[in-house]
Amino acid sequence: MILKAKLIMINNNSTGPRTDAGKQTSSRNAVKHGCCSTETLILATENIEDFKALEAIWFQSYSPKDDFENHLLNQVVQADWFLQRATRTLAGVEAQFLSEVPTPTDMYDCHHVALQRFMRYQTTRRNEFTKAKKALDDHRKMQATEKRNEENQEIAKVKLAIYKEKNKPKPTFEETIAEMTRTAEALGFKPKGQPIQK
């Protein structure tokens, strides 16, 4: 009982890492393979340059046109990165298990259970990637549809104006006289009884 109390006191006195580097290292204590982590972008086994290269490929292919599209594309890049991580991990685990047994049929139940778990991780990441890419593609389709609708509306306005111009009714006798009077006044002629201004 006394020993247990001493251990509790020792544990309570422990404050954990104090430096920023120590805290960052400690925060990754539970990360073994990274397949469940979407907060840790770059693991110790990964290279930031590889992520930047993947990001460059996506941005070069899609060339986002606004901030929202940029945000959606960033989600696609991260989802692709996490999917690749899950795929690499699954391949590594499978290779490790195959190195422990003569043939794949000799794998133990624990091997199959572990492989199924990592396959579920991969499926989850693939679904997240598919969802993120669909959101980006749907946004682009919606923007293209809106632009096409605006262009069609402008074309319809022009066609309507041309139709109205071609099919406007012939002026009446009174309208013709009024138009002739306006033209004469514009040229400086005045109706009888009014002096012409010089």
| Cα 64 to Cα 34, 56, 68, 70, 131, distances in angstroms | 29, 12, 8, 5, 18
What does the pLDDT read at residue 3? 41
- Quick one: tokens of 181? 């009077």
Q: How confident is the model at residue 29 (pLDDT cuts 50, 70, 90)?
A: very low
Most confidently modeled range among 14-18, 46-50, 175-179: 46-50
Q: Are 17 and 29 in contact (CB under 8 A)?
A: no
Residue with the two structure tokens 């990274």 = 34
Q: How confident is the model at residue 102 (pLDDT cuts 50, 70, 90)?
A: confident
Does position 117 have pLDDT exceeding 50, yes or no? Answer: yes
Q: Which tops the pLDDT comparison, 169 or 119?
A: 119
Q: What angle do CA 27, 36, 52 make, to 5 degrees?
A: 80
CA distance 12 to 6: 10
Q: What Rg do the C-alpha atoms of the chain give, in angstroms?
A: 37
Residue with the two structure tokens 């006195």 = 13
What does the pLDDT read at residue 73? 97
Count of CA atoms in the C-beta half-sphere (13 A) of 87: 9
